Structure 1
Amino acid sequence: MYRRGFTFLNHAFVLCFFLCLPLLFCAVNVWGPSLAVDPRVLRPFAFLGGYWLAFFHYSAYAGILYLVLRVVGLLGGNGAFWQQAYTLYAKAAFVAVMAILVYGAWNALHPVVRTMEHDTGKHLSQPVKIVLVTDIHLGSLFGRQYAAELTALINRQNADVVLFGGDQVDNDLGYLLREKSYEPLRNIKSKHGVYAILGNHDHFSGRVQEELELFRSVGFHMLVDEAVDLPCGVHLAGLEDFRSEPRNPYLEKLAGTDPGKVNILLEHQPRRFLEAEKAGYDLYMAGHTHGGQQAPLNLVTKRMYLLDYGNKKFGNMMGITSCGYGLWGSPVRIGSTPEIVVITIK
């Protein structure tokens, strides 16, 4: 399609370059973690491969419309008018896809702070400010500098409690261990501590215990089917990822029994709103969805989850799903913006 619109794309060198991009994407994500190479050297290749993935994604939609145009043109005689129409469409599609990529690439690197307040009715002695951070995906795309910028953003919120909602690691610990990209997170300032759970990506490499120790070494309290009572009047429970424990008996077992405390459940995948409300939790926090990351994939996540993004009341419980701070695969966001969520509970 694109070669129809731009003759320079017919050159063999350009064709080989585009054919190599999917191989580059696979190489960085599959073999990269085990290579004895500084991740900062591989990162430009990870970005290039990621941009290819987004380019291919949106080009596929353009290609479908192009095929429809060709069929209509064929039925219309396929004359000079249609030949010109094919060429103009190909050019317009290329410009449109590139514009989407440029905007999405910029959007992916400019996180925002989403704020909200929630009255739990528990009459806390004073408001509690919670910072929720999910899906940071440290790895091939984002490393030490990224973690340092996140730490600075969190510290500007003056949090009472900081919660990490899983997927701290992208696919493999190799990049983290070589770059030590988790180390800047030790500088997070939180009055009552930093707590984290595991996500599906944290299990991909099969080195869960090693990851737990890494993050504990920088001051994280890892909650894997565990609960803790905080001095600010909060009972916090953290569940193992749904993929590892789809029928988790700890959801009910870990629910707090003190009616004066705010009962919070932290889980990576937003799948158990109704069960959490029934168990007596006041807040349910999750991530995982990335808000679809690249529209129109958000239409898929909306069908998959009761709440794929935002906040919504479920009976007496407030459900919160973040679209996450990080990304998977492609450093392009369309239809969602990377975020941390600041929740002030009363």
Structure 2
Amino acid sequence: MIFILIVTLLIYAGLVFYVAWSGYRGIGIKGNRWFLIAYSIIMLFLSVSFILARFGSGSTLLAVIGNYWLALFSLSLMILPLVHLIMLILRLTSLHREKTRVAAARIAFVVLVAALAYGSYMAYTPKVNTYTIDIDKSYPEDLNVVMFSDTHFGYLSGKKHAERLVKEVNELEPDLIIIPGDIIDDDLEIVEKKQIFNILGGLEARLGVYGSLGNHDKFRGELSELITAIETANIEILYDETVTIEGGLALIGRKDYSEGERLATEQLTSQLDQSLPIILLDHQPYEYDEAEQAGVDLVVSGHTHRGQVMPGNLITNRLFENDWGYLKKGQLHTIVSSGYGFWGPPIRIGTQSEIVQIHINFNN
């Protein structure tokens, strides 16, 4: 574990040096020792700001700086290699090397700013993705279910994002709202300070609002305190628990996959009437075979963010059987959301924040 940590830090340090040195050369100020010292101190601070905010006592300012540093850092790693490749090719021409380098640095800066603006727009401007599924079980009526996940409420996903969520979800007039995890971003105190749960209390669904917990739904106190805090928003948290709601619809909320010790899906469904439609909230999209064998009809998940920033989607696509969207296995329907919020850098490129609307048709 320590070895892996050391290797990770060394790789990160090398990449930071690459970005910092590229930026320094792009600015074009040479021979000024004081500028170099000041620039180095700023880059060192930026490179550790996210770590300090995440693992120290933290502050709002430090968290904001750290997360935006991650955004700039990740985008730079996407842009700079292409710039350097173009520069190598241009060396074969008769163009003036220094002027070309300065021009390339300016273009890279413009592209970086544009990518940051675009990524922020995609992160803070959710869309609604709609799916229609057929469940071959009886229920008094077809349902309009709204699902959202990975809100990661905290320093950068705050009150305005929560207010927009409530407004847009309520406009869909859901019969039922389900939230499969990562409601907060590890810090309950900042969420309560921003009165996020008061805002979420405005969600409206006649059959209720239900949620499960994800790997980021944690804080330094007892887990029961967190669940109690979330439930002040009239969100019933199912923590390896089942509930049968009006009309005979069964909901299961599993503990997160990262917790290790959790009940098997079969243990949870054994408590239920198998003739009822069964919806499972499981934050991480694993164990579909077990869910299908246990008689679950629909699994909703989040967690993947669909990679959040491309080419991260190529990684999540390899890691998960379904990393985003809809997949059917036998009678089992699975839907994975890219998430309403974001983790770390407040940007999305190649993905977009979303709310999921599920029209469920039953064999009435």
Q: Provide TM-score, normalisation by structure 2.
A: 0.83
Q: Counterparts in 2 of 1:1-346, with a 5 A limit?
A: 1-7=22-28, 11-12=35-36, 13=38, 16-31=41-56, 42=60, 46-65=63-82, 85-203=100-218, 205=220, 207-245=222-260, 248-255=262-269, 258-346=273-361
Is the 8 Å Cα contact of residues 47 and 330 (structure 1) preserved in structure 2? no
Kindly provide the CA deviation profile for residues 251-285 of structure 1, in whole angstroms up to 9, marking residues without a partner as x.
11222653542111110000121211121111111
Q: Work out the CA distance in 1 between the residues paired with 2:83 and 2:168.
A: 44
Q: Work out the CA distance in 1 between the residues paired with 2:258 and 2:160.
A: 30
Q: CA deviation at 1:133?
A: 1.3
Q: Work out the CA distance in 2 between the residues paired with 1:59 and 1:175.
A: 30
Would the alpha carbon gap of residues 81 and 240 (structure 1) be closer, same or farther in structure 2, given more than 3 Å must change?
same
Q: For structure 1, which segment, 132-141 or 60-69, has the greater mean C-alpha deviation from structure 2 after superposition?
A: 60-69
Q: Work out the CA distance in 1 between the residues paired with 2:221 and 2:195.
A: 19
Q: Work out the CA distance in 2 between the residues paired with 1:339 and 1:195.
A: 18
Is the 8 Å Cα contact of residues 218 and 226 (structure 2) preserved in structure 1? no
Kindly provide the CA deviation profile for residues 207-260 of structure 1, in whole angstroms up to 9, marking residues without a partner as x.
422111101222121101111111133211110000102x64331122265354
Q: Work out the CA distance in 2 between the residues paired with 1:71 and 1:88.
A: 14
Q: Work out the CA distance in 1 between the residues paired with 2:143 and 2:264.
A: 25
Amino acid at match of 2:256: D
Amino acid at match of 1:26: I
Amino acid at match of 2:143: V
Amino acid at match of 1:214: A
Q: CA deviation at 1:149?
A: 2.3
**Structure 2: gaps spanning 5 or more residues:** 1-21
Amino acid at match of 2:265: L
Q: Work out the CA distance in 2 between the residues paired with 1:8 and 1:64.
A: 22
Q: Secondary structure at the match of 1:202?
A: coil
Q: Share of identical aligned residues, percent?
A: 33
Would the alpha carbon gap of residues 172 and 185 (structure 1) be closer, same or farther in structure 2, given more than 3 Å must change?
same
Q: For structure 1, which segment, 289-298 or 145-154, has the greater mean C-alpha deviation from structure 2 after superposition?
A: 145-154
Would the alpha carbon gap of residues 70 and 205 (structure 1) be closer, same or farther in structure 2, given more than 3 Å must change?
farther
Q: Secondary structure at the match of 2:155?
A: coil
Q: Secondary structure at the match of 1:164?
A: strand
Q: CA deviation at 1:70?
A: 6.9
Amino acid at match of 1:51: Y
Q: Secondary structure at the match of 2:187?
A: coil
Q: Work out the CA distance in 2 between the residues paired with 1:99 and 1:143.
A: 24
Q: CA deviation at 1:160?
A: 1.3
Q: Secondary structure at the match of 2:139?
A: coil
2:3 corresponds in structure 1 to none
Q: CA deviation at 1:92?
A: 3.1
Q: Work out the CA distance in 1 between the residues paired with 2:286 and 2:96.
A: 52
Q: Work out the CA distance in 1 between the residues paired with 2:222 and 2:48.
A: 26
Q: Work out the CA distance in 2 between the residues paired with 1:142 and 1:176.
A: 9
Q: Work out the CA distance in 2 between the residues paired with 1:204 and 1:303.
A: 30
Q: Work out the CA distance in 2 between the residues paired with 1:79 and 1:171.
A: 55
Is the 8 Å Cα contact of residues 294 and 332 (structure 1) preserved in structure 2? yes
Q: Work out the CA distance in 1 between the residues paired with 2:52 and 2:108.
A: 29
Q: Secondary structure at the match of 2:201?
A: helix
Q: Secondary structure at the match of 1:299?
A: helix
Is the 8 Å Cα contact of residues 145 and 181 (structure 1) preserved in structure 2? no
1:38 corresponds in structure 2 to none
Amino acid at match of 2:136: G
